[in-house]
Amino acid sequence: MTEQSRRIVVLLALAAVLSVAGAVAVIGSDVELVSSEPDADALVEEVIENHGGVETVQATRVSTYEMDHLETGTTTEETVEEIWMELPDRSRTEHVESDHDPIWDVQVVDGSTAKKYDTDEEAMLVDENRSADAITFHPERVDTEFDVAYVGTDTVDDRDTHVVELTPSTDEAAISVLVGETEYAISGSSNEAKNVTRTTTWWIDTEASFPIKEQIESEYHDPDEHAVEHDRSVRTATYENVTFDEPIDDAQFTVDPPGQPDVYEPAQPFVVSTIEEADDRTPFDLQVPDVPDRFDVALVSASEFRGHVSADVFYRDASVNDGDEIRLFVTEESIEYETVLERDVGEHGGDLVETEAGIGYTWLCSGVRYELVVAVDDEDDGAFAVDLAESIDCQ
């Protein structure tokens, strides 16, 4: 087969059509190569500009996320959701099952308003300034030049599809990294954006001209320089039992939780990139530990959520193969830890606790909660965290 590779300019959502973020695809050997190829540019443009002409989509979405991490090896997570979409800007997503605890059970998008309801917490997030369409995950968009290639045909859930690949032709396209439930947007000017090779693959339904599968792979050339220290990630979303252009009741695009749920707004991130900038934006005095000289500041962030301001400072020694790490988290919010290993430790009288990031030391300093988590080879992480904390003055 003679591969078409054409260059087009599209307005592409950072995590496009099947609501996954990242980038690229490895095509399996079962893709059938065809002698007469359709116009790959036309297929992609129809999706981007017109959603394939589709008005509604109903399906079961199966999403997988595979990440090769330098320290922990390969991890894979799967999430199953029921989805209803009325394009371009109405959708409903119901969580069915996943390998991790979901932070919401139902998400509804209706125009510029998005709502997420958590049954267990009886809480609902309401975002009245949402700017993304129903089929996108991130509101950021970027004019980007892509190389488009037609790969062949394939069958997805007993439906015939055309398979196309989209690869950014430059390193300047913005990317996003989703770490747990925290999103770090990295602009194209950053070193990390230029450190990644990415390709997006769509399986476009031959009848509906709409992707029913997307696979996105990111490969990091210098994984030690990446904030989450992985060298490859693959996100895949597949629509199963899909139906197109069937009417959807308006009630599907509302959320009517029982009782009186706790209603709150999204976190408001502050634009900061240095410790000094974060200190200026926070209402508290942001004190940082005296870390060894071999550690550099890798990431600084600050935000306000549910009336509480927080700041994060992430240090790394990139000269170590797996990267020794120190994370400082400071917040006005009260935190209750499920697992307390030891109480009344060190001169601050804090606690050694288990966190999602590892063993940490936490204490109150002038009414603000401090948390230090250390991951350093050949060190007792808890003891090292306590030692670092003593360099912070809480008098």
Is residue 91 a contact partner of residue 83, using CB atoms and an 8 Å limit? yes
Mean pLDDT of 355-379: 88
Residues 32-86: pLDDT tens digits? 555 578 999 899 888 878 888 899 999 999 999 888 776 667 888 999 999 999 9
Q: What is the pLDDT confidence band of residue 145, given thresholds at 50, 70 and 90?
A: low
Mean pLDDT of 174-194: 35
pLDDT at 193: 47
Q: What is the distance between the alpha carbons of residues 152 and 33, in angstroms, rounded to a whole number?
A: 4
pLDDT at 198: 77
One-character DSSP codes across 18-68: TT--S------TTPBP-SS---HHHHHHHHHHHGGG--EEEEEEEEEEEEE
Encoding tokens for residue 259?
A: 């009782």
Q: What is the pLDDT confidence band of residue 150, given thresholds at 50, 70 and 90?
A: very high
Mean pLDDT of 314-326: 75
CATH 2.50.20.10 assigned to domain 5-253? The reply is yes
pLDDT at 359 over 70: yes
Higher pLDDT residue, 332 or 35? 332
Mean pLDDT of 336-350: 92
CATH architecture of the domain 267-389 equals: 2-Layer Sandwich (3.30)
Encoding tokens for residue 149?
A: 């290639």
Q: Where in the chain is the domain with CATH 2.50.20.10?
A: 5-253
Q: CA 243 → CA 89, 156, 157, 247, 267, distances in Å?
A: 18, 13, 12, 10, 35
Encoding tokens for residue 114?
A: 């998005």
pTM of the entire structure?
0.66
Type of residue found at 138: H
Which helix (H) or strand (E) segment holds residue 387: the answer is helix 381-389
At 193 the three-state DSSP class reads: helix
Q: Where in the chain is the domain with CATH 3.30.200?
A: 267-389
Q: What is the pLDDT confidence band of residue 141, given thresholds at 50, 70 and 90?
A: very low
Higher pLDDT residue, 272 or 200? 272
Is residue 143 a contact partner of residue 22, using CB atoms and an 8 Å limit? no
Q: What is the distance between the alpha carbons of residues 108 and 100, in angstroms, rounded to a whole number?
A: 21
Q: What is the distance between the alpha carbons of residues 372 and 382, in angstroms, rounded to a whole number?
A: 9
Encoding tokens for residue 185?
A: 């947007």
Mean pLDDT of 247-271: 90
pLDDT at 224: 58
pLDDT at 176 over 50: no
Mean pLDDT of 87-92: 89
At 4 the three-state DSSP class reads: coil
pLDDT at 207: 95
Question: HSE (CB half, 13 Å, CA atoms) of 67?
Answer: 17
Q: What is the distance between the alpha carbons of residues 16 and 211, in angstroms, rounded to a whole number?
A: 10
Q: What is the distance between the alpha carbons of residues 67 and 25, in angstroms, rounded to a whole number?
A: 14
Query: In the block, which residue shows the tokens 């400071």?
Result: 330
Is residue 268 a contact partner of residue 100, using CB atoms and an 8 Å limit? no
Q: What is the distance between the alpha carbons of residues 320 and 101, in angstroms, rounded to a whole number?
A: 32
- Per the prediction, the chain carries an average pLDDT of 79
Q: What is the distance between the alpha carbons of residues 81 and 98, in angstroms, rounded to a whole number?
A: 9
Is residue 100 a contact partner of residue 80, using CB atoms and an 8 Å limit? no
Q: Number of helices and strands (H, E) in the chain?
A: 3, 23
Mean pLDDT of 139-154: 68
The angle formed by the CA atoms of residues 71, 361 and 301, to the nearest 5 degrees, is: 70
pLDDT at 190: 41
pLDDT at 240: 96
Q: Any idea what DSSP says for residue 367?
A: T
Mean pLDDT of 146-152: 88
Q: What is the distance between the alpha carbons of residues 113 and 126, in angstroms, rounded to a whole number?
A: 7
At 362 the three-state DSSP class reads: strand
Q: What is the 3-state secondary structure (H, E, C) of 147-186?
A: EEEEEEEEEECCEEEEEEEEEECCCCCCEEEEECCEEEEE
pLDDT at 379: 73
Mean pLDDT of 243-271: 91
At 231 the three-state DSSP class reads: strand
pLDDT at 139 over 60: no
> Nearest CA to 66 among 97, 30, 110, 22?
22
Residues 207-243: pLDDT tens digits? 999 999 988 888 877 665 555 555 788 888 899 999 9
pLDDT at 272: 93
Enumerate the β-bridge partners of residue 239.
61
